[in-house]
Amino acid sequence: MEESRKVTIVEVGPRDGLQNEKAKISTRDKLALIRMLSEAGFSRIEATAFVSPKWVPQMADHDAVMRGAQRRPGLLLSALVPNEKGAVAAIAAGAQELAVFASASETFAEKNTNCTIAESIARFRPVLALAGQHGLPVRGYVSCAVDCPYEGAVAPEAVRDVCERLLEIGCSEVAVADTIGRATPARTDRMLSTVMKSVVAERLACHFHDTSGMALANIDIALAGGIRVFDSAAGGLGGCPYAPGAAGNLASGRLVRHLSDRGFVHGVNSEALERAEQFAARLRLAARD
């Protein structure tokens, strides 16, 4: 198979999908969702977030989720971490990959992590050092890569700057994120073209929220630019509690169908994914009853 037709989907539903649900979802249900996603063939699943339970109560059971998540060869279970404390706990619980999260907007950095962009990068250095000691890869997110819920349009140069800093400190991949789903293909193109002046496509991933229904059109722009790693969440679950207006992530089923139609190979079984998506929808309904 031609290498450029291979695409990796990072299933972020158990973390980015569920973190925004107000009502408590049981650890057992979270583990069932992860098991179904694993059975659907995803090779990377972001299982939980080792963030402060005061900031995101839904992720308070991170330890039990990471310890209890079903593992299989070929699957990397990752954990979102904001600092060294989170990294220590995530690694102890068996995380196989870490993800740190920065922002291209100062206001969002403050609202989401109570620090400046520069302070967030400084906090990540010990995370990278620790991950290095354990041989774990670290993804770096850049939130508000197109728009910020507080500041509006974000300059593509600001996104490139944060991407460069995340790679400098040792991240193996940078995920540019349209946190509130306002990107259009033209704006995605401008942002990615600017970022790719200094970052090669092989180090980039795209994380689109589908608030405006444009996520798939934006994926096409990224594919044309050579990017082959994309995030999605089962059933389009999702949003960030500190990003008002952020609706669901791009739904995994929509992404899988879109990629299949275009002849890309992703390794996800559609029927098994549909079962996981139905389960995710029931979880959301139950949480909102």
**Active-site annotation, residues:** 240
CB count in 10 Å sphere of residue 9: 27
Q: Rounded to a whole number, what is the distance in angstroms from the first to the last CA of the chain? A: 47
Residue 146 binds: one of ligand HMG, Mg ion, none (C-beta under 5 to 8 A by kind): none
Residue 85 binds: one of ligand HMG, Mg ion, none (C-beta under 5 to 8 A by kind): ligand HMG
> How near is the Cβ of 85 to ligand HMG at its closest, in Å?
4
Q: Give the separation between CA 216 and CA 224, rounded to whole angstroms.
A: 12
Sign of CA dihedral 16, 21, 24, 25: negative
Contact assessment for residue 5 and residue 29, using Cβ atoms and an 8 Å cutoff: no
The residues that touch ligand HMG, with contacts defined as CB under 6 A, are 16, 19, 49-52, 55-56, 82-83, 85-86, 101, 112-114, 141, 143, 177, 179, 207, 240, 242
> How near is the Cβ of 240 to Mg ion at its closest, in Å?
6
Q: Give the separation between CA 201 and CA 224, rounded to whole angstroms.
A: 10
Contact assessment for residue 185 and residue 217, using Cβ atoms and an 8 Å cutoff: yes
Nearer to Mg ion, 142 or 195 (CB): 142
Q: Give the separation between CA 17 and CA 218, rounded to whole angstroms.
A: 20
Residue 78 binds: one of Mg ion, ligand HMG, none (C-beta under 5 to 8 A by kind): none
> How near is the Cβ of 240 to ligand HMG at its closest, in Å?
4
Nearer to ligand HMG, 55 or 281 (CB): 55
> How near is the Cβ of 179 to ligand HMG at its closest, in Å?
3
User: Would you call 133 exposed, middle or buried from its count of C-beta atoms within 10 A (0-12, 13-18, 19+)?
Assistant: exposed
CB count in 10 Å sphere of residue 77: 24
Which one of residues 9, 13, 16, 44 is an interface residue with Mg ion (CB under 5 A)? 16
Residue 112 binds: one of ligand HMG, Mg ion, none (C-beta under 5 to 8 A by kind): ligand HMG
